[in-house]
Amino acid sequence: MTTATVPNPFGEPEERTALREAVAKLAGKYGHDFVAKQAREGGKMTEMWLEMGRNGFLGVNIPEEYGGGGGGMSDLAAVLEEAATAGAPLLMMVVSPAICGSIIGRCGTDEQKKRWLPGIADGSLLMAFGITEADAGSNSHKITTTAKRDGDEWVLSGQKTFISGVDEADSVLIVARTEDAKTGKLKPALFVVPTDSEGFTKQVIPMAWEAPEKQFTLFIDDVRLPADALVGDEDGGIWQLFAGLNPERIMGAALSCGMARYALAKAVEYAASRSVWKDAPIGSHQGIAHPLAKVKIELEQARLLWQKAAALYDAGDDAGAGEYANMAKYAAGEVACNATDAAVHTHGGNGLTVEYGLANQLVAARLGRIAPVSREMILNYIAMHTLGLPKSY
């Protein structure tokens, strides 16, 4: 009897496998040493960013008619994961093509898509994203940045904090709130704000980890914008915001998984080659081997979660994507921290040296537990929306 070949339901398409290989090769030319040098000297990732754009890697999720690759979030997240695995993560991929590109692609007018998406796709236009505020935390309903109509223009006022890459960006997609004429209540709305706008200023936030991408507090003082700066429907509601926030969580998970893969590879290489007792490599001891094996299991769980979340998003299942994007972000943030900690411990004192390139990642990996939403808020989401438990906050 002949047994038919059954397709692997957990395998990726050949095109994505080839995409991963191409990205790994390009990112490998830069790697950790390049990133560390740029961070140390105040440089940027512009050279790698533009090369990624020229090769079509930054815009794989953007429709072909607007200069992209016509793929989905599954493809873009694979690109970021491979870059991070090579030691050269591109934080702004989470922001420009994933958040901003997705929101404009789904909610923007055709004119807005033609204006912004081609540049986002090839990397020549970098768009930052501004949602977080000092007093709002994870509660987007407390955002106080407001937008008011003034004739044919909008006037924005407010502050944002922990906004990535504003010094590199041409514009920032700002989440503000407008007043509902019928109810008087404030509702979310999105505006593209050029970084050279009058009344728009930025202040860098000193961070404890070294990275080429900087964090900023933004001051938006009566910034005047044309009517077409509004992306989407003024009355579109919260779904327009989550058209970008679900990709943000998926990409954050992919980034964390890439960081975990980088740390695990370093640890395995060191454990397999370093000998201390009886000429046996330290990786032959269970005290070293088991923590790394545990990380590998956690890593594959997290990768499956982000791949499922991305597949649901690409299929148009926003509710399902939201559920699994949160799970993926939680799991990936945990494994990035666990993998880096295990890698540092495997290296002993060497793990804290600049040479081995792991110590700075101890702090960077921690970001995956905090941003773009804390793991505690993710647990609240799963408890309430998935398990049906009462709201706790």
- Residue 336 DSSP code: H
Percent over 90 (pLDDT), the chain: 87
Residue with tokens 């830069």: 30
pLDDT at position 183 over 90: no
* Residue pair 98/247 in contact by the 8 Å Cβ criterion: yes
d(CA 187, CA 392): 23
Average pLDDT, the chain: 94
Closest Cα partner for 326 from 374, 387, 380, 378? 378
What are the tens digits of pLDDT across the range 144-166?
999 999 999 999 999 999 999 99
* Angstrom distance (rounded) from CA 69 to CA 194: 26
Contact 338/299 with Cβ under 8 angstroms?
no
Q: Render pLDDT for 63-91 as a digit per residue (tens, 0 to 9).
A: 999 999 999 999 999 999 999 999 999 99
Instruction: Select the more confidently predicted residue: 271 or 5.
Output: 271
Q: Answer positive or negative: Cα dihedral of 371, 374, 380, 382.
A: positive
CATH architecture for residues 14-125: Orthogonal Bundle (1.10)
Residues of CATH 1.10.540.10 domain(s) within the chain?
14-125
For position 187, what pLDDT does the model report?
84
What does the pLDDT read at residue 165?
98
**Which CATH superfamily does the domain covering 238-274+281-386 fall into?**
Butyryl-CoA Dehydrogenase, subunit A, domain 3 (1.20.140.10)
CATH 2.40.110.10 in the chain is located at: 128-226
Q: Which residue has the higher pLDDT, 279 or 156?
A: 156
The two counts, helices (H) then strands (E), for the chain are 11, 10
Say whether pLDDT at 387 is over 60: yes
Q: Which two tokens mark 338?
A: 């666990």
pTM for this prediction: 0.95
CATH no., domain 128-226: 2.40.110.10
- pLDDT of 51 over the 80 cut: yes
162 closest CA partner among 377, 363, 373, 340: 373
Confirm if 169 and 218 have CB atoms less than 8 A apart.
no
Q: What is the pLDDT, as a whole number, of residue 182?
A: 56
CB neighbours of 340 closer than 8 A, spacing ≥ 6? 259, 260, 263, 358, 361, 362, 365
In the chain, residues under CATH classification 1.20.140.10 are 238-274+281-386
Which residues lie closer than 8 Å to 38 by C-beta, 6 or more apart?
44, 45, 212
Cα distances from 160 to residues 165, 189, 217, in angstroms, run 13, 15, 6
Predicted confidence (pLDDT) at residue 275 exceeds the cutoff of 60: yes
